[in-house]
Structure 1
Amino acid sequence: MRQLSKYTLPFFACSTLALTGCQQFSKPQLPPQAIQPTAPEETQTQNVAKDQFALQGKIGVRTPQQSGSAFFTWQQQQDKFDIELSGILGVGKTQITGHTGQVTLNSAKTGEIHADSPEELLERATGWHAPITHLIKWVQAKPATASAQLNKDEQQRITQIIEDDWNVDLSYAEHATLPNKLILKQALESGKENRITMVIQNR
């Protein structure tokens, strides 16, 4: 794996966000009875629903190389988003804005960086891939693809999503229908993992 630059953590946190590195990964396994494949028609219905939300909270990133945290605000309106990060290891405020086909990252340390998608932006800036588009669905307790494996609680809320090499654990406050905490884990060949913890304080 390539050495991470000093600006990598802000980009990881952005959208926050995740790391899909250059290695090959093995998917975590659940007992067969706990895994519920997502029906294609269910995912299709969920994906045509409006992606509209406003989040505030804190995100922490831990990799075998480094760790850190940041506060975030995230405005999502269909395919348009505006994410602001602050308190990232002294880097200062980082702004990520965009829509389908055009994404911009701006900070005092890096200036403006442009790309066609959030994933491409992270790859160009840090050399890493990240399931940012998936995260838009995950914070709404929805799978992003028809191939996702789901685990639900007694209230039929999704508590775990296994999708595209990521194991996402969702936690809820009492009888809330939307999660207030997500833990994203990605197993590495070395036996270690990339981990992102996202705490949503306000919706």
Structure 2
Amino acid sequence: MPFHSRSCLAIFITSMLMLTGCQTPSLASKTSSPNIGNNDSQTVSYNQFSLQGKIGVKTPQQSGSAFFTWIQQEEQFDIELSGILGIGKTQITGEPGKVELNSSRTGLISAESPEELLLLATGWNAPITHIIDWVQARPATLETEILKDNMQRPIQFIEDGWTVDLSYKDEAVLPNRLVLKQALDSNQENRITMIIQNR
């Protein structure tokens, strides 16, 4: 794969996480997490969490994966990715009005929003700003179609052109695996897989 393609994919993967950082909260995401259990130790405050795991992105043209550490403190975030197609460690930081991506291969890229950075760096427009809600097992909008399991945990969201499948470990109330799918023409799709190893 040419370096340019590897760089674009690296930025695309980082943007999948970055796009959650500076979103304007929707009505649904201002509410508390779904009442799907009484285990307070697994309850996550809105916009405040720490995740570690692996993310993979597969498009009709490219695929790749990276390990991530994601720290979210309200409107500020710090994401570190490693092992991404030889690009090296990538650091993404953000706050309202300022998002920066920095790696030894791509250098420093700045923008006012994650969406702008993704468009600037790759030419792609991927409206997936809802990941911050999905990793907390809650819908991002009021128009979401929700499928639940027998414990009343969401196991599928359908919203804004994405289908999100959520998997849980044992009786956990927060997912440890998410598969995000966006249908494309000719029966193709964009697919993002997030495996959360630590919360």
- TM over 0.5, shorter chain: yes
1:127 positional shift: 1.0
1:186 positional shift: 0.6
Q: Distance in 1 between matches of 2:152 and 2:72?
A: 25
- Which amino acid is 2:142 matched to? A
Q: Distance in 2 between matches of 1:18 and 1:76?
A: 11
Q: Distance in 2 between matches of 1:73 and 1:41?
A: 27
- 1:5 matches 2:5: yes
Q: Which has the higher contact order (CA 8 A, sep 6+)?
A: 1
* Contact 2:89-2:103 at 8 Å conserved across structures: yes
Q: Distance in 1 between matches of 2:28 and 2:115?
A: 25
After TM superposition, the structure 1 = structure 2 runs for residues 113-192 of structure 1, keeping only pairs within 5 Å, are: 113-192=109-188
The residue number in structure 1 matching 2:48 is 52
* Contact 1:169-1:182 at 8 Å conserved across structures: yes
- Which amino acid is 1:75 matched to? I
Gaps of 5+ in 2: 20-25, 34-44
Identity %: 64
* Contact 2:29-2:133 at 8 Å conserved across structures: no
- 1:16 matches 2:7: no
One of 184, 187, 194 as aligned partner of 2:190: 194
Provide, for residues 38-89 of structure 1, a one-character-per-residue CA deviation record: whole Å limited to 9, x for no partner: xx97554249x62111000011111111111110000001111101110011
**For residues 104 and 44 of structure 1, do their structure 2 counterparts lie closer, same or farther at Cα, with a shift above 3 Å needed?**
same
Q: Distance in 2 between matches of 1:91 and 1:170?
A: 29
Q: Distance in 2 between matches of 1:135 and 1:43?
A: 11
When the two chains are superposed, the root-mean-square deviation of aligned CA atoms in Å is 2.1
* Contact 1:18-1:130 at 8 Å conserved across structures: no
* Contact 2:146-2:157 at 8 Å conserved across structures: yes
Q: Distance in 2 between matches of 1:174 and 1:124?
A: 41
Deviates further, 164-173 or 113-122: 113-122
Gaps of 5+ in 1: 20-39
- Which amino acid is 2:158 matched to? I
* Contact 1:161-1:169 at 8 Å conserved across structures: yes
Provide, for residues 145-165 of structure 1, a one-character-per-residue CA deviation record: whole Å limited to 9, x for no partner: 112111111111111111111
* Contact 2:18-2:92 at 8 Å conserved across structures: no
* Contact 2:51-2:196 at 8 Å conserved across structures: yes
* Contact 1:43-1:146 at 8 Å conserved across structures: no
- Which amino acid is 2:96 matched to? T
